[in-house]
Structure 1
Amino acid sequence: MRKQTTIQAGISTFVYASPFKTADFHLLPKIKSAGYDIVEVAVEQAGLIDWDLLVSMTADLDLDITLSGAFGPRRDISSDNAAFRKEGLDYILACIRLAEKTGSPLFGGPLYSAVGKTRIVLAEQKQQERAWCLENLRIAATAAADHGILLGVEPLNRFETDMINTVDQALALIAEAGHPSLRLSLDTFHANIEEKDIPAAIRKAGNLLLHVQANESDRGTPGTGHLPWPAIREALDEIGYRGAVVLETFGEPSEELARAACIWRPLAGSTDEMATEGAAFYKRMFT
């Protein structure tokens, strides 16, 4: 008999809307009725969201909130453009404050760079970009600690970043930054491309694993692809993981998001079908 865990099921607003805004709050009861415990708000444009109303509505629905980031070129803390580095850090700091406001224990994503930044560059440039990244991560981590928030560094696949693709690389960056508020966020879709053994990567992450976006091999409905879900569950059990499993895929992506994530076709029969079947799968698999 496997060890029982307490894992909440969540769904990203990316599944329904991009960018998520106050006019989309009618989706919150639907998310609850689909079987989710958490709504993960992707903070694309914070000014489009009435955060006080969001907190009130989710409380009434008994939905928890987690926050994830959206990192375009102007939010790149490793950019060779100083203005973009500042904009990226300011964005992370603002999201930390929003995490505290909404009760999210974390803010996660590819904090280190811009999605879609994939190049071959000289070693000296890579070293400089890493130095800028580390400088800003340490500032962000210090701020996160002040607000009682943890930051989740998420590896992305090789088609979306040239900086952090694997758990090993993320753990090395976290170790070099040297701040206890920096942890690992794992997306199983990216891990399916980059990791030789996803359960082994989970075990290696151990207690640094903060957050799991439990996405299928094709970003479609969880449980319909070829990921080794029972082995993933077993690895999470072994490390005593008590975080969330969150569906983060893209039901109706914006043109910019579709390009960044390379979404060129529908990933399920419908968004509602993906959401309800995903929640049912998480409940069967993880609770």
Structure 2
Amino acid sequence: MNKIGIHYGYFTENWGTDIIPLIKKVRALGFDILEVAPGPLLAKSKQERDMIAKAANDVGIELTFSVGLGKAYDLSSEDEKIRNNGIDFTLKTFDIMKEMGAKMYSGVNVGAWNNTPQDGIKDKSAELARSVASIKEIMKVAEKYGITYAVEVVNRYEQSLLNTAEEAMEYVKMVDSPNLKVLLDTYHMNIEEDSFEKAIKQVGNEYLGHFHVGESNRKPPSINGRMPWDEITTALKAIHYEGAIVMEPFIKMGGEVGRDIKVWRDISKNATTEEMDYMAKESVQMLRDKMK
């Protein structure tokens, strides 16, 4: 049975929040995984990170890491210093992942998040080549630490490098590392792919390392939502996908999370904490039922 997770940003306005209460909350709601961002954890002391890792271990929650690299860490940048900053940031993240027993590093991690070309482009091969060179350096350490590096396919408004499953497949083959995989996300697939089923089967079990889910407006997955969950889960089962399924719902305005995800209206319809928790609980149960 696939482990089901949720991104911690669903529960907070700011990235640098106290994770320990969220670990206990998601366990009570029926989740197996809490997905976290590396930046705030890098800013904590080793003692604080040890406490977080112990809290997760005590209740049986797996921590996975998801990043949206900032412009200062753009692994595809023309500026060698910026690329080196990105490599250094990633390797420091690997060190704390090793400390905390985490094995999955995913997200917008081949270049900068929310950073697209200012002018129209016809060729992005130079950007891709710089990104591939950076990732090849990073993968030496990922392989040593046993970390899976899943590159996320995101929509055209958030990045220009990898917008489709086909592009991601070409990318991982250029890097050629057994630890480099693809992360598909239903929110982004809904914008860019012709077919959920075809995209999932194109990546296949060999390359699909992580899977994000959410409705087209970033609500938690729901049996009453617009996404074709039967098609999506049937395709995952057809390729014998055994990895994690992690939801990334972002439905509240305000703070760093609302700003970065671009939530400009209260998608939750003024939901209380209890109502937010109920939506998440219903969602995880729906996914478990569909993946049986």
Shorter-chain TM-score above 0.5: yes
CA change 1:24–1:66 in 2 (3 A) is closer
Q: CA RMSD in A?
A: 2.0
Please point out which of 255, 273, 278 is paired with 2:278. Answer: 273
d(CA) in 2 for partners of 1:12, 1:142: 27
Tell me the residue number matched to 2:221: 222
SS of 2:37's equivalent in the other structure is: strand
d(CA) in 2 for partners of 1:20, 1:263: 15
**Deviation digits for residues 113-156 of structure 1 (CA, Å, limit 9, x no counterpart):** 111112235556x3322221011110111110000111001011
Given that 1:153 and 1:170 are in contact with CA atoms closer than 8 Å, whether structure 2 keeps it comes out as yes
Tell me the residue number matched to 1:13: 8
Identical pairs, percent: 29
Tell me the residue number matched to 2:288: 283
Given that 2:253 and 2:264 are in contact with CA atoms closer than 8 Å, whether structure 1 keeps it comes out as no
Tell me the residue number matched to 2:200: 202
Given that 1:22 and 1:48 are in contact with CA atoms closer than 8 Å, whether structure 2 keeps it comes out as no
d(CA) in 2 for partners of 1:48, 1:278: 32
d(CA) in 2 for partners of 1:232, 1:163: 24
Amino acid at match of 1:228: P
Given that 2:97 and 2:103 are in contact with CA atoms closer than 8 Å, whether structure 1 keeps it comes out as yes
Tell me the residue number matched to 1:165: 163
SS of 2:18's equivalent in the other structure is: helix
**Deviation digits for residues 192-212 of structure 1 (CA, Å, limit 9, x no counterpart):** 110100111101101200001
Given that 1:7 and 1:245 are in contact with CA atoms closer than 8 Å, whether structure 2 keeps it comes out as yes
Please point out which of 105, 115, 118 is paired with 1:117. Answer: 115
d(CA) in 1 for partners of 2:150, 2:231: 23
Structure 2 counterparts to residues 132-281 of structure 1, below 5 A: 132-206=130-204, 207-223=206-222, 224-252=224-252, 255-268=255-268, 269-270=271-272, 271-281=276-286
Amino acid at match of 1:29: K
CA change 1:114–1:15 in 2 (3 A) is same
Q: How many residues align?
A: 281
Given that 1:160 and 1:260 are in contact with CA atoms closer than 8 Å, whether structure 2 keeps it comes out as no
d(CA) in 1 for partners of 2:147, 2:43: 23
Given that 1:115 and 1:260 are in contact with CA atoms closer than 8 Å, whether structure 2 keeps it comes out as no
**Deviation digits for residues 60-91 of structure 1 (CA, Å, limit 9, x no counterpart):** 11111111113111121011232221121112
Tell me the residue number matched to 1:131: 129
CA change 1:189–1:252 in 2 (3 A) is same
Tell me the residue number matched to 1:3: none
Given that 1:152 and 1:185 are in contact with CA atoms closer than 8 Å, whether structure 2 keeps it comes out as yes
The TM-score normalised by the length of structure 2 is 0.89
